[in-house]
Structure 1
Amino acid sequence: MFMTHFLNHYTLKYTPLSPIHIGADESYEPGNYVIDDEAGALYSFDSRAALAGLSDSDRQQLLAIVNGKPDDTMLTKVQSFFHNHREKLLAFAKPPIPVSSGAIRHYLNSVGKTKNREKNGRVINKLEIERTFFNSANGVPMLPGSSIKGAIRTAMLDSINNGQSTRHKKHKDLQEELLGGSFQTDPMRLILIGDASWQGNENKPACQVQFAVNRKREPVEIDGKLLDSSAEKKGLYQLMECITHEHYQGFSGSLTLHITDSINKSAQKLPLKDLHWSIGQIAHACNKFYKTLLEQEISDMKKRNYLDKSWLTHVEQLFIDRLLKRLDDGEAFLLRVGKHSGGEALTLNGVRSIRINNQKKKPDTWENQPKTWWLAADDIGNRTNLLPFGWLLVEIDPKTPDSQLQNWLERGNQDVIDWLQRQSAKQNALKQQAELRQQQEEARKQAEQQRSEEIRLQQETEQQRLAALSPIDREVEEFLKPFQQQEHDTRLLQALESDRWQGEDAKSIAQKIKELMVDAGKWLPDFEGTNKQKMKLKQRSLKVLAYLQD
């Protein structure tokens, strides 16, 4: 604790005791993630990273898909495209997140497919995975101060109400009555709680992708058949990114209490004096409310055999040993935060009234507890080895670690560290391969550009050369194009003898023929021997001379 004249500051260390999901209004969607089913890992990426990992032909294929009609077919093609090119995308993705085995099967059975849910049309398997609240700067999870403060507020209200059940007021009116007024006199104004930042082992994943499944609290049998909940009947589930309970003191934050003793009470309104809570009062109120709730929930879930046995054994042991004393002494306290925390964690004892959505068009009813739990599961059909959502241990200015709790939560450290190292090594290797492909592709593009530039310069030079030629020279070049170079003198002489050129043009052609014959060693006008071939060349040479002498 750090004290000033007006403030008391406390460092809080947060340890998730079960999976936690605090909504971020964002989801992983098949267009920005892929699942490596062999590794059991989700890799997310942004559109720029996706394009960086694809070749030119891949990008053209993707462009052709997204330029199509924006319907279910297009979306399934996009899903299939990213899944089929997943290894190219892993290199440019963010660090991996473990995915439960059931979620992997669900993904493989659903990606790129549609399913019939309504008689009047198809429904696409969109495969969104709800993200937990995270730091936008680095993508790691956070516990928002508002969620922590909201959970504390519920416990403090319940402490003030003390189980009274005579009030039948609206929630807002009840709060104002319990807290002695509205905003200005609300005692929670004296409590400042910062966002809790991630402090877990960077060599371990902070989150995992799991299902949220709905299970009945009480067995219901008709004609000897155990009935499932309506959610189970409809196959309803949620895929969620959850903070795992494998990081001791995985989050760190602060709590600040305003000291009002030196404040001029006449200058401003303040909460009632007995509502200026100390950190000890806050801890005891939270433990009274949430510890009782946890004990009752564990007891009820044990009856249905829902809970993971290893988790149950360790949690029960914790509340027998040192942790129980720390809770009783106000050194630490329990909270329940996030989605699927259950209606009891959001309402007060004595005035609890939870809306029950009845089936078969029956009117909704109001009860003191829900009829079902939403539980964390590795697979949609799991009825055992489940975990409750949202349980959080908060330690106040801890000086030494709780070794028993730390040993339980981090006993599998090496397994997940090895897993992450393997995925990181694979990702790095794929990135090196991708970078090599990019370098090769860039070198190819540069070579093509250089060749294109050379061709352009050659064409430009040729155009300049042709422009400098006389009309007769251009005509000769066009005439000789179809023929081999060794035939040029012969072909020109044949054309000359056929009267294609006359006058000075004929002399120019004859001069060209002479030059070609000289270069080829065929110019023999003075030959005196008997060699038949050379005699023919002499005759050809004399014909050319005749044109030159006219």
Structure 2
Amino acid sequence: MSFFSHQPWMLSTLSPVHLGTGLDYEFTSYLIDDGVMYCFGESALFDALSPIQLAQISDYADKGVAGLKSIHALLHTNREVLKLHASHLVAIGEGVEQFYSKRKAGTDKDFNQMLLPKTASEPFSGSPVLPGTALKGAIRTAWLDWKVHSKPQFALKNESRPLKILQQVTEFEKVDKDPFKTLRIADARAVNAQVHKKIVLFSSHDWIDAKKSKSARVGMVEAVAAGQVDAFEMDWRLWFNQDVKPPVEDLTQLATLVNRFYLPILQEELARNAQTGYYAESYASALSQLLHDHQLQQLMAQGQAMLLRLGRYSGAVSKTLNDHRKIKILGQKGAPNQIKSLPHEQRLVVSGEKNVSGSEPFGWVLLVEQGLTPAAVKMFAATLYDQDAQLQKLAEVAASQQHNREQYQLEQQQRLEREQAYAAEQAAKAEKLAAMSDNQQQMFGLQERMEKGESKGKGPSEKLWGDLRGLIQICDVWPAAERQQLLQLAKALVTHLGIDLKKNKKAKELVKQLEG
């Protein structure tokens, strides 16, 4: 017999969240221009570029980094056409466009930083998604920490692998007896199309030695934008059956254990920040006020809200257990592995290469039971940046892009119709010429030149008249019908060239020769 406890929760982002997928935006699949990143697939290159340009790309591809830079320069030159073929747009954070422009024009080492890691997204719509596996992993870490510290006699030694720790703590031997098999967490999906991603700059900050932070390498990464309230909906269920004992009695208890682990970590970060000043002052102040909100504190105490940290750049502190924060350094060339304490390092969102202050952390989210999100969360989000303005910009760019795409498609259709009409005209001409004799074909050529306006009104000194004279001189052996056609053409050419037969005796005699 089985039954379950079920709760729908809403998720808000308190800082940018990057959940790596192993996929990147290649340098040929995006352009950053005028405050927006335009993303497109390889098919867009074939649609937007000419055969000659595609051949250039093929040649550049075999020339190392220099060739790659040449490819990107070609794409940038044709950016207006490529924008029309963009599959989706992504907002960019402060300093990103300047960093991008500098890197694509910089050294080979700089250019290698153009690779841009993607965050987890829906495959077709491109909307951000927070995988249930990531949520479950973060929750498992918090539960493990509680479990370990609920047994003072328990010694982990130097073990850092979550599954091994879980096996020791719960004393289960097989994976199918893992108590977390009873916890089912669905992917947290965006509630609407307004939920968006953002390209941000990041660098590693040392909480002890600020000098190291100033020289840290900066990179770009895609993240779920911060300050999005009730942006994702998450469903989690705790199953109860006779085969596997669940990790907790109910979901409320599990939420309180999560807060027990993650809340002190965030509080400690804010305390350290008071000394280092890495975080933007407005951000640190707003986040501190949110954590002191009475309604939120009550919800967290009752297990109806929980603070969680997700993603690759959330820091090792959030992924390891209290009092057991060590990492394994693999030995080189047969040397034994080493167990070391965690470094005082954390990757933060920055606004520029030299701007250590004004940063934000990665990965903080707040989950609240559906319908219970405090007003303080919206107040916190309002202090981060003008999301409405950013969404408005994306909407305006998308509308302009759609208009330009429609105009481009119309022009392409009109060009295609012109080409088809010309091809049909040439085919009809070829068919008509095929049915003519050699004499008629020569007359057709003169007729066509006249219709195009050649030498109109310029008199008998022009080549058009000379070519007509040449035909008249050899037409004695032509059939009568063809001589009659040449006569009509000659009269038309006299009018076209503006020749007065009353004044020009030679021209008059030439035409009369056809009449005779």
- Give me the TM-score of the superposition, normalised by structure 1: 0.75
Q: How does 1:338-377 map to 2 (within 5 A)?
A: 338-355=311-328, 366-377=339-350
Question: Partner residue of 2:356?
Answer: 383
Match of 1:107 among 100, 103, 120: 100
Question: 1:102-144: per-residue Cα shift (whole Å, max 9, x none)?
Answer: 22112112225543x5xxxxx7435111110011021111000
Q: How does 1:346-495 map to 2 (within 5 A)?
A: 346-355=319-328, 366-396=339-369, 398-410=370-382, 412-462=386-436, 465=437, 484-485=467-468, 490-491=473-474
Mean Cα deviation higher: 144-153 or 25-34: 25-34
Question: Partner residue of 1:228?
Answer: 212
Question: 1:6-44: per-residue Cα shift (whole Å, max 9, x none)?
Answer: 2222112111111100001111122111111x3x11010
Instruction: Report SS of the residue matched to 1:306.
Output: coil
Instruction: Report SS of the residue matched to 2:114.
Output: coil
Instruction: Report SS of the residue matched to 1:9.
Output: strand
Per the alignment, do residues 519 and 132 of structure 1 end up closer, same or farther by CA in structure 2, a change over 3 Å counting?
closer
Aligned counterparts of 2:473 and 2:46: Cα–Cα separation in 1: 60
Per the alignment, do residues 67 and 519 of structure 1 end up closer, same or farther by CA in structure 2, a change over 3 Å counting?
closer
Per the alignment, do residues 178 and 485 of structure 1 end up closer, same or farther by CA in structure 2, a change over 3 Å counting?
same
Question: 1:396-425: per-residue Cα shift (whole Å, max 9, x none)?
Answer: 3x2244222123314634322322232123
Per the alignment, do residues 59 and 199 of structure 1 end up closer, same or farther by CA in structure 2, a change over 3 Å counting?
farther
Letter in 2 for 1:270: V
Question: Partner residue of 1:64?
Answer: 56
Aligned counterparts of 1:517 and 1:302: Cα–Cα separation in 2: 100
Aligned counterparts of 2:277 and 2:483: Cα–Cα separation in 1: 106
Matched, 1:43 2:38: yes
Per the alignment, do residues 114 and 66 of structure 1 end up closer, same or farther by CA in structure 2, a change over 3 Å counting?
farther
Letter in 2 for 1:174: I
Aligned counterparts of 1:227 and 1:365: Cα–Cα separation in 2: 27
Matched, 1:177 2:164: no
Aligned counterparts of 1:313 and 1:73: Cα–Cα separation in 2: 46
Per the alignment, do residues 303 and 451 of structure 1 end up closer, same or farther by CA in structure 2, a change over 3 Å counting?
same
How far off its partner does 1:519 sit?
Answer: 6.3
Question: Partner residue of 1:333?
Answer: 306
How far off its partner does 1:489 sit?
Answer: 5.9
Question: Partner residue of 1:193?
Answer: 185
Per the alignment, do residues 432 and 157 of structure 1 end up closer, same or farther by CA in structure 2, a change over 3 Å counting?
same
Aligned counterparts of 2:432 and 2:347: Cα–Cα separation in 1: 74
Instruction: Report SS of the residue matched to 2:145.
Output: helix
Per the alignment, do residues 313 and 259 of structure 1 end up closer, same or farther by CA in structure 2, a change over 3 Å counting?
same
Aligned counterparts of 2:274 and 2:482: Cα–Cα separation in 1: 111
How far off its partner does 1:277 sit?
Answer: 3.4
Aligned counterparts of 1:441 and 1:301: Cα–Cα separation in 2: 61
Corresponding residue pairs, total: 462
Per the alignment, do residues 339 and 490 of structure 1 end up closer, same or farther by CA in structure 2, a change over 3 Å counting?
closer
Per the alignment, do residues 454 and 20 of structure 1 end up closer, same or farther by CA in structure 2, a change over 3 Å counting?
same
Aligned counterparts of 2:479 and 2:411: Cα–Cα separation in 1: 57
Matched, 1:161 2:148: yes
Q: Is the 8 A contact 2:328 2:339 kept in 1?
A: yes
- Give me the TM-score of the superposition, normalised by structure 2: 0.80
Aligned counterparts of 2:340 and 2:226: Cα–Cα separation in 1: 31
Aligned counterparts of 2:485 and 2:265: Cα–Cα separation in 1: 110
Matched, 1:88 2:81: yes
Question: Partner residue of 1:243?
Answer: 224
Aligned counterparts of 1:407 and 1:460: Cα–Cα separation in 2: 81
Aligned counterparts of 2:273 and 2:170: Cα–Cα separation in 1: 34
Aligned counterparts of 2:95 and 2:486: Cα–Cα separation in 1: 87
Question: 1:122-173: per-residue Cα shift (whole Å, max 9, x none)?
Answer: x743511111001102111100010000011111111110174733153344
The CA RMSD measured in Å over matched residues stands at 3.5
Q: Is the 8 A contact 1:488 1:516 kept in 2?
A: no
Q: Percent identity?
A: 22
Letter in 2 for 1:331: Q
Q: Is the 8 A contact 1:211 1:237 kept in 2?
A: yes
Instruction: Report SS of the residue matched to 1:379.
Output: coil
Structure number with larger C-alpha Rg: 1
Instruction: Report SS of the residue matched to 1:125.
Output: helix
Q: Is the 8 A contact 2:25 2:116 kept in 1?
A: yes
Matched, 1:23 2:20: yes
Q: Is the 8 A contact 1:301 1:307 kept in 2?
A: yes
Letter in 2 for 1:187: P
Q: Is the 8 A contact 2:38 2:90 kept in 1?
A: yes
How far off its partner does 1:375 sit?
Answer: 0.6
How far off its partner does 1:98 sit?
Answer: 1.7
Aligned counterparts of 2:316 and 2:481: Cα–Cα separation in 1: 105
Q: Is the 8 A contact 1:91 1:431 kept in 2?
A: yes
Mean Cα deviation higher: 343-352 or 446-455: 446-455
Letter in 2 for 1:389: F
Q: Is the 8 A contact 1:77 1:112 kept in 2?
A: no
Aligned counterparts of 2:231 and 2:178: Cα–Cα separation in 1: 31
Q: Is the 8 A contact 1:318 1:324 kept in 2?
A: no
Question: 1:59-83: per-residue Cα shift (whole Å, max 9, x none)?
Answer: 4223223234512232111101111
Question: Partner residue of 1:218?
Answer: 208
Matched, 1:307 2:279: yes
